[in-house]
Structure 1
Amino acid sequence: MFKRQLIAELDKWRQNKLRKPLVIRGARQVGKTTLVNQFAAQYEQYIYLNLELSEDKEPFENFTSIENLISALFFLKNKRLAKKSTTLIFIDEIQEVPKALNTLRYFYESAPDISVIAAGSMLETLFDKNISFPIGRVEYKVIRPVSFPEFLSAISETAALEQLTQVPIAAFAQTKLLSLFHTYALIGGMPEIVQHYSTNKDLVALGPIYDSLISGYMDDVEKYAKSNAQILHIRHCIQSSFAQAGKRIKFEGFGNAVYKSREMGESLRTLEKALLLQLIYPCTTATIPMIPDIKKSPRLQILDSGLLNYFVGIQKEIIGTNDLNSIYQGILIEHLIGQEILAFQYNALSALQFWVREKKESTAEVDYLFQYDGLIIPIEVKSGKEGTLKSLHSFMDIAPHDMAIRFYAGALNITDAITQKGKQYKILNLPYYLGSQLEKYIAWFIETKKPDPKS
């Protein structure tokens, strides 16, 4: 299996003397267990516990003290207590024993020398229940679908990966990286899909895996739902979310259903807690803090663009296209750029943002906002000339800076732009494949804009 870049974050956590037990969140099938199994190679001892198994579950169900629990776990897995400080304990599927969550606080308070990680594919469903979470005693990280750099690593394109991470990107790398990114855009970032493609390079053979992934999410409905009626609502939301991905939605009649706003809202928010989708509410200002306006219609972001492609049937259109913006009215590439921006935001509260100005006479909308060093940087995902970026101009008229970003099918460059009101600003034009490198390029952009002290 290929390595995930989140391992670098886990290593920082491991070396932190003040670390807390770590809870890894993520949707089903995004690679939580595989990630921790790979990370465990950095320890002398590794205790893996799957609380779906009765023998692993029992010590937590019979918990009386942290000392007895630790002794039982080391005995159960035939590990040496003398090596506690070089041991990683991974509690997988922790949601199967809800009170096991509270034992994490005791690890933090009474056994801080032991590294403890917990995860669960349905962990988020416990957040609404009467479960005692060890607030302030645990840390959280989120794992998401495979990013483009991880995809390059998985298919052994080491030279391409090396060039991708160079700032600024070399001009000679453009054609190959754009071609590889088209393949990534086609198949998406679900680890099982990426692993299968890496091994077999067979796009046709991926169909049954997509089917299995989507069916698995549908089968989980009973675990998410609070009632039989909500089972129907959530199942409808899962099916409809693929066709509505990348679009602004209304809860009332979502997916051409007869269901009411409250029913659809509750179901979509349940799926959001399970990290299967995100409801992105728009911001209406150009200065911090970025506060979403929940009175306005949200835009729907689903877990993975590859699932979107497969479900709506646009995979063949992607093959051979010169510009991903021409596919599916530009929705696919806009959605994928959002997925790439989010891929390296590992904190539990990380979220995408976009901007709107809604007036009776006109509406302006900027695809994404990115906060950097106290500034809100607007991001458009568009082809065409700068003069067509009317919404971007509207945002820049109220922004307290002169920087904007556009992702497109062309090469890296910086161009000058001017709004209808006469404000001059600069646009950093980035090839689509640099979405994962956004933060590095903003820093480079700012540095590039500085006047030369020698001039």
Structure 2
Amino acid sequence: MFYRNIIQQLEQWRLKSNRKPLIIRGARQVGKTTAVHEFAKQFSQYIYVNLEQQKYKHIFENYTDIHKIAEQLFFVNDQELRLKHDTLLFIDEIQEVPTAINFLRYFKEEIPELPVIAAGSMLETLLGKNIVFPVGRVEYFQLRPVSFEEFLGAIGETRALAELRHVPLNYFAHSKLLELFHTYALIGGMPEIVEEYAKHRDITSLKPIYNSLINSYLEDAEKYAKNATQLQLIRFTIKQVILHAGKRITFQGFGNSNYKSKEIGEVLRTLEKTHLLHLIYPTTGYSLPLIEDFKKAPRLQFLDSGLVNFQAGIQKEIIGTDDLNKVYQGTLIEHLVGQELLANQNLPLDKLHYWVREKNSSQAELDYVLQFHNKVVPIEVKSGAAGKIKSLQQYINQAPIDYGIRFYAGELQINTLKTNEGKTFHLLNLPYFLASQTEKYIEWFVDNRPKSTSHFIVNEPTIAYEKPTNKNVEIKKLNEINDKHQRILKLILGSPKKGKEIIEEHLGLTYQSRNKKLLIKPLLDLELIEWTIPENPKSKQQAYRITQKGKDAIKN
């Protein structure tokens, strides 16, 4: 068992003076039971009640007095009732005895000193079935798949984990964290998959587990299908949802089927109650509150990107890429960033949002918008030059904010830019692997932002990540090259790269003659790099590779 961040939240819950019974929500197989078992090690006594077992069903179905129920549970498990203040009672699969949900309120009212946790995968499907949730007498946590942060801990990368949590990121940690993130992007965050990989480091051994997980979700459909026809529809929808994850959809004819909009809509909303997917409807506003427009097409967010990769057959494509934005037309990394943005959100009402321009004729769309304090922060997941983020610029032109976030394969940096309408704004460029740390970086940025001319934001102190002045200084000696030159050398150390890829995707600058002259030409002149096609310098296939002299420069 590896550490899950929800355990820290459980520790805080235990210490509350007004603690209520806790219901942990989440899809099947995300590790709810395992996390509680691990948390239970902090108690002197632990009572695990699985309501799929008849002996426990009998107690909740045949007793109505909460004290009698508690006495029976302690007796059956050979635990001492006098130590109930230091005993964790965990009621698992509580949906199997729906009336047990209402008993939770009486644990709060009559035995408040006993810490009680309940879990079930399909609790929301019980709504509308004469089941009353004890409003105000319980609280809720949401458990999601393993985050990249948790993944690093699971595979024993403690130093990398420490660097991930360090704000701002140290330059030297970028390459290794990006490499590890590619592995995480490949296998995903299902706990069983992560645990197997941590033990054997063999990706080929994971195929049976992927198959088993997907089949378990398909088999679960029997639990909430009303008839054989609906069962077939639900299973069809689950398969199509995995293949359409990260994309905007329409209900009518979903998955190239003949199913009607109403039929698909009902099934998708049922699956959403099981936490297998989220329907993310866009917002068209620029400030709080974030109001979803249910008339527009929603985007599908599936439970886990690793399952999507497996079912879509794109795992080999991930292994061979240097930028995740090139895989699956960019859908993979957009979906995974969304998964990471949700990773540390432990409340059931926490959800993702994205933005589209209100005009139907407009193509402007932002991958995500994030509520942070009293602001709505625009987020793009995109490679290339910072100045090419047109939708983000359109948003910032109208919004009461002068900064945005771009996730990409490059390194941490801040650009000071202008929109097409002349509004100055700052672009916080974060490598993909920092998505789960987004709120920490917004805090850091807001506290240390470059000075702004925008009238929306109060000026703040300048920081070290300001956009460089790029003065036209001719470089003639090795000791005159700067950090960007060194980054280029390290970048092409593994394999040749084209100039546009180096400057736009990895340095986040525009691919123009001035930048080529400042960044590429000095390295050529000093013979630190060379053309891959020296006989045809203007070839469209031209790339740059490092020379032995360049390798020696890195060592020194």
Fold in common (TM above 0.5)? yes
Alignment of 1:20-59 (within 5 A): 20-59=20-59
Match of 1:313 in 2: 313
Deviation at 1:345, TM superposition (A): 0.5
Q: d(CA) in 2 for partners of 1:116 and 1:161?
A: 32
- Report the residue type matching 1:237 in the other structure: T
- Verify the 8 A CA contact 2:45 2:86 in the aligned structure 1: yes
User: Cα distance, 1:132 vs. partner?
Assistant: 1.7
Report the Cα distance in structure 2 between the residues aligned to 1:349 and 1:225, rounded to whole angstroms: 25
Q: Is the 8 A contact 1:93 1:123 kept in 2?
A: no
SS at match of 2:334: helix
Equivalent in the alignment of 2:69: 69
Question: Which residue does the alignment assign to 2:18?
Answer: 18
Q: Quick check: 2:448–2:462 contact (8 Å CA) kept in 1? A: no
Kindly report which structure 2 residues correspond to 1:267-416, keeping only aligned pairs within 5 A, or say none: 267-416=267-416
CA–CA distance in 1 between the matches of 2:228 and 2:304? 27
SS at match of 2:19: coil
Name the residue aligned to 2:4.
4
Map of 2:87 onto structure 1? 87
Q: Which amino acid aligns with 2:425?
A: Y
1:410-435 deviations in Å (ceiling 9; x for gaps): 00010012111111100100000001
SS in 2 for 1:433: helix
SS at match of 1:404: strand
Matched, 1:150 2:155: no
Structure-1 separation of matches of 2:462 and 2:299: 44
Q: Which deviates more, 128-137 or 81-90?
A: 128-137
- 8 Å Cα contact 1:272/1:278 also seen in 2: yes
Tell me by how many angstroms 1:360 deviates: 4.9
* Cα distance, 1:335–1:453 mapped onto 2, change above 3 Å: closer
Q: Which residue of 1 aligns with 2:118?
A: 118
CA distance in structure 2 between the aligned counterparts of 1:118 and 1:409, rounded to whole angstroms: 41
Displacement of 1:21 in angstroms is: 0.3
- CA drift at 1:63: 1.8
CA shift, 1:133, in A, is 1.2
Per the alignment, do residues 190 and 131 of structure 1 end up closer, same or farther by CA in structure 2, a change over 3 Å counting? same
Distance 1:355 1:123, change over 3 A: same
Matched, 1:452 2:457: no
Instruction: State the partner residue of 2:167.
Output: 167
| Equivalent in the alignment of 2:96 | 96
Segments of 5+ residues of structure 1 without an aligned counterpart are: none
Q: Does 1:135 align with 2:115?
A: no
Assess if the C-alpha contact under 8 Å between 1:323 and 1:409 holds in 2: yes
Question: 3-state SS of the aligned residue for 1:285?
Answer: coil
Q: Is the 8 A contact 1:358 1:364 kept in 2?
A: no
| Deviation readout 1:351-400 (Å, 9 max, x if unpaired) | 00000014354320000011111000000000011221110011101110
Q: Which amino acid aligns with 1:233?
A: L
In the alignment, which residue of structure 2 is the partner of 1:235?
Answer: 235
**Quick check: 356-365 or 262-271, which moved more?**
356-365
User: Could you tell me the percent identity over the aligned residues?
Assistant: 58
Alpha carbons of structure 1 residues 113 and 7: separation in structure 2 relative to 1, 3 Å: same
How far did residue 43 of structure 1 move? 0.8
Cα distance in 2, alignment partners of residues 378 and 68 from structure 1: 54
Contact 2:122/2:273, CA 8 A, preserved across alignment: no
Q: Amino acid of the residue matched to residue 22 of structure 2? A: L
Q: CA deviation at 1:332?
A: 0.2
2:106 maps to what in 1? 106
Q: Partner amino acid for 2:443? A: A
Paired amino acid for 1:107:
F
Q: Is the 8 A contact 1:95 1:122 kept in 2?
A: yes
Q: How many residues align?
A: 454
Q: For the aligned residues, what is the CA RMSD?
A: 1.2
Equivalent residue number for residue 518 of structure 2: none
The 8 Å contact of residues 98 and 131 in structure 2, kept in 1 or not, is answered as yes
Secondary structure class of the residue paired with 1:295: coil
Distance of 2:25 and 2:114 partners within structure 1: 20
| In structure 1, C-alpha distance between the alignment counterparts of 2:236 and 2:437, rounded to whole Å | 36
Written as runs of structure 1 = structure 2, the 5 A alignment for 1:179-198 is 179-198=179-198
The 3 A distance-change label for structure 1 pair 181 and 453 is closer
Displacement of 1:453 after TM fit?
9.4
- The farther-off stretch of 61-70 and 5-14 is 61-70
Report how far residue 224 of structure 1 moved: 1.9
Post-superposition Cα deviations, 1:150-198, rounded to whole Å, max 9, x if no partner, equal 0000000000000000000100000000000000000000000000000
Residue 210 of structure 1 corresponds to: 210
Which whole-Å deviations, capped at 9, do the CAs of 1:191-228 have from their partners, x for residues lacking one?
Answer: 00000000010101111110000000000111122333
Match of 1:177 in 2: 177
TM-fit CA distance, 1:58: 1.2
Q: In 2, are the aligned partners of 1:142 and 1:348 still within 8 Å (CA)?
A: yes
- State the alpha-carbon separation in 1 of the partners of residues 350 and 75 from structure 2: 39
Q: What SS does the aligned partner of 2:14 have?
A: helix
Deviations 1:271-313 (A, max 9, x none): 0000000000000001000011111100000000000000000
CA distance in 1, matches of 2:40, 2:335: 33
Q: Secondary structure at the match of 1:220?
A: helix
**SS in structure 1 opposite 2:357?**
strand
Conserved? CA contact 1:281–1:354, under 8 Å: yes
User: Which one-letter code corresponds to 1:452 in the other structure?
Assistant: P
Q: Distance in 1 between matches of 2:302 and 2:36?
A: 24
Normalising by structure 2, report the TM-score. 0.81
Q: Which residue type is aligned with residue 26 of structure 2?
A: G
Tell me the distance in 1 between the aligned counterparts of 2:185 and 2:218. 24
In the other structure, the counterpart of 1:261 is 261
The residue type equivalent to 1:114 in the other structure is L
**1:434 maps to 2:426:** no
Bigger relative contact order, structure 1 or 2 (CA pairs below 8 A, ≥6 apart): 1
Q: Secondary structure of the residue that 1:137 maps to in structure 2?
A: coil
Between 162-171 and 360-369, the greater mean CA deviation after superposition: 360-369
Give the Cα separation in 2 of the matches to 1:150 and 1:277.
21
In structure 2, give the amino acid aligned to 1:217.
Y
Gaps of 5+ in 2: 450-458, 464-556
